[in-house]
Structure 1
Amino acid sequence: MYGGMLTVAHTPDSDDAFMFYGIAVGAIEIEGFRGVKHIIEDIETLNRWLVEEGRNVDASAVSAHAYAYLINRYFLLRTGASMGEGYGPVVVARKDGLRLEGSRIALPGRYTTAGLLLTIALKGKFTPVYARFDEIPGLVEEGKVDAGLLIHEEQIAYSRRGLTVVLDLWDWWARATGGLPMPLGVDVFSKRLGRSAAAKFRDALRRSIEYAYQHFDEALEYSMRYSRVKDRELVARFIRMYVNERTLDMGEDGVEAHRTLYKLAREAGVLKVSVQLGDEDIV
């Protein structure tokens, strides 16, 4: 049952802002709903809200890792996913050659997919230090941690701080999966509102992304308000990396990538729940 205002939570990041541009400015309407109430919080806050606190929002951005704990309550949308292909989160340090096993590594949250991938890759043989994603480069610079795992715009802005990549998670993922796209962030929709409503939201989000690309300069200006990085060219590059054809529809190999993520995490003993992602869970 639906028909009122739709509560949508997403992050204050340039790629999410770009995706929702058409909806946010009123150019794209969501069939069956009178309007949208936006809740904007960083990704780990949204993850914790839904996973730990059991909050009910109608639609939300979450990490693919967090979705493992939400599958009974939320549909996974084929539209809105952030996936890496040829690139992904990176671990940086102040110098080359750092041995990551046994190191103190800053992670951008307990439920982030990047953190899950790193834990699998290193078999958990490091000490995690949880911090907001935008604080991590500073922690590395100041020597408060040995290394830091970077997501969002920071993963392509680190060189300006004199930091160096000691592990590119894409390289590990590509070897582990034979080159599947790397799942990172997803958009989900509450199952209590039903599959039909989820499909209407998915279609509106797809049109919103298409609208943003049709009005790229205006959408980029809007997105810049939310970016911690104020370099216009860098933000545009980041948006193109993570808002692309995969974001319009992750494809069957994108769905398989999510299943593979949960399988690898379960086999590594990192994921404590068994995730059976069926077609009935995907819209």
Structure 2
Amino acid sequence: MNPGGYLEPIRAGGAVLWREGGNGLEVVLVRRPNHGDRTLPKGKPKNGEHPIGGAVREVEEETGLVPVLGRRLPTRRYLKDGWPKRVEWWAATPRNPGGEIDYEPNDEIECVEWVPVERAGERLTYAHDAKVIDDFRAGPARTFPIVLLRHLSAGDKRSWDGDDLLRPLDETGRADALALPRVLGAYGNLRAVSSSAARCAESLLPYTVECDTGMRTEPAFTVGRGGRGHEVARAREAFTRLLDDGLPTVVCTHGELVPELLTEALTRFDAPSPQRRGLRKGSFWVLHVSVDGALAAVERHHVRE
């Protein structure tokens, strides 16, 4: 290929599955007979599959363990047979308590094993996998997510004759709402808090049903009543209270408030602010917070990617 050209990278996703063993942290490695290597569980998403859902599915298929995603780890890029490859990584814990492995060996994966994290790097075949372990060890293992979601598509409010707080999701928004549980569910069971507006509550409804979790509405996260300045102040105070609770949470609100709430969180954690803080409809920020109250990672996604 000529210098200055571009090759679309192969995209994949995986996780560093970890648990607390008797002698400290352990992580999962897999051995692939066809490649003669030992690596971390990962794989390519299927056509149309969300990167988050693809990573969860591939890890489960290769280990028999359903991962609950924790903090985002740095993306790793390397060449695979001369072609660029890009792998998205997360820390993760097994959904089943204890993480006991019950996996039938096959032609793709012949062994799934827990190993002490201190020994994982030397047992991995590839240097780029060893760097992923280094990334994992460089930050906190245990974190909890705070998800900040802008409500899904609800059409043009100029075509709605009723109270704007009652404006429902449109066809695209309803389809995205049905897809949202597969994405948010990757982060475990989240406490759901919504604006009082119908389009926000409807955005989270399929998630709460599928994941069997409750939802409460928070007037402070609602745009459309009172002066905007008062709404912003109340919203930031309410968001701070949620952060103080230290619980995995998803908040669904309006585009006007997303930058304000994100700024409130980043200021609290003494973290820099991105140039673009707002979100398009159906997008969300995930703030990964360590158990000692520090910001461990931030990522942004759309319900359909």
> TM-score, normalization: structure 1?
0.24
- Higher share in helix: 1
Of the two structures, which has the highest relative contact order with CA contacts closer than 8 Å and spacing of 6 or more? 1
User: Which protein has the larger Cα radius of gyration, Structure 1 or Structure 2?
Assistant: 2
> TM-score, normalization: structure 2?
0.23
